[in-house]
Amino acid sequence: MAGVYPDAPSRRLAHDADGTVVATANNGSGKVLVEFNSVTINDENQDTYLNLIGSGVNEDDPQTVWFLWPEKREIDGFYVFKDDPPNGRDNPTWNHYYSNDTTAGLDGTWASGGSSQARDTGAELIPDYRNKITSSAVTGATGTKLVGVEWIPNSYIAAMHIYGTISPGETPDRMLYLDTENSDAEFSKVLDYGDVPRGQTQQRTIKIKNNSATKTINTLQLTAEDLYLNAGQWYTFSLDDVAYQATLNTIGNMGPGATQLIYVKQSVPDAEQIGPQVGRLRLTHASLT
């Protein structure tokens, strides 16, 4: 543990931004998946949520959310927070299922990937999302679905976090983040700074790598973002440990197998809100050649 909270089992998948199809199902005259923007359930804000019933789910059917991955995934854990205003918070058990062959969510063979832990009614998403992650051990999943075990009307899902990595050999033409404090191994878990005092600035290094054997990745830019609160604003980046930028746009192009050392500075404001916060790095590019 880096601080007072348990370690996350892996990196939280950016299912709101990585090409994943996230959907519910309308079970009226025939089951049809209904895709939605999943940013409201991948953040840490319990006041933004997905209303499953309002999204077209039949009230007599199990509450289900599908995740159709753009490439195969290793699933190491998941977390669900259900919030039903104005009747109070209620966190029933959620079952995790996965498929190694689904292509559209309603096809394929599905198997159990575990069940979530029960939590007390009245729990708050912060810091619950750090304490109640359910471990899983799934390999090569093309799809994941989370199914509520009991029917409850007006189902407001405030968080569905899934932890894992892209399966080995999938999408080789992509960028990797390497841990310079772990012999340049690819990050398999989140970079947890632990308990950081407000008003503190600290620095470390990472590397980025073009994992492709044949492609050059052009016009790279690196920045930090958050889905809730302010952690994305804490980070600046540099190639020379002199000039730092919130958006590092001087990386340029990287050929096959190339690596680049990046200096990362974290500065937490004096008046920052106390409690756990999450930021994530976002590396964008213009093209592959």
Mean residue pLDDT of the chain comes to: 91
Assign residue 140 the CATH number of its domain.
Answer: 2.60.120.260
One domain for residues 26 and 134: yes
Residue 273 has pLDDT above 80, yes or no: yes
Q: What is the pLDDT of residues 158-171, one digit of tens each?
A: 999 999 999 999 99
| Confidence label for 90 from pLDDT (cuts 50, 70 and 90) | low
Give the type of residue at 246: A
Q: Which domain holds residue 190?
A: 175-288
Please list the alpha-helical segments (H only) found in the chain: 39-42, 125-131
Q: How many CB atoms lie within 10 A of CB 19?
A: 11
One domain for residues 127 and 230: no
| Confidence label for 27 from pLDDT (cuts 50, 70 and 90) | low
One domain for residues 195 and 162: no
One DSSP character per residue, 203-236 reads EEEEEEEE--SS--EEEEEEEEE-SSSSGGGGEE
Q: How many domains does one find in the chain?
A: 2
Nearest partner of 197 among 245, 266, 278, 264, judged by Cα: 266
| Confidence label for 85 from pLDDT (cuts 50, 70 and 90) | low
| Confidence label for 93 from pLDDT (cuts 50, 70 and 90) | confident
Whole-number pLDDT of residue 286: 97
**Cis before 127 (ω within 30):** yes
One domain for residues 68 and 159: yes
**Is residue 58, in this structure, part of any structural domain at all?**
yes
**Is residue 15, in this structure, part of any structural domain at all?**
no
Residue 62 has pLDDT above 70, yes or no: no
Burial of 18 (0-12, 13-18, 19+ CB in 10 A): exposed
Give 213's contacts (C-beta < 8 A, 6+ positions apart).
172, 256, 257
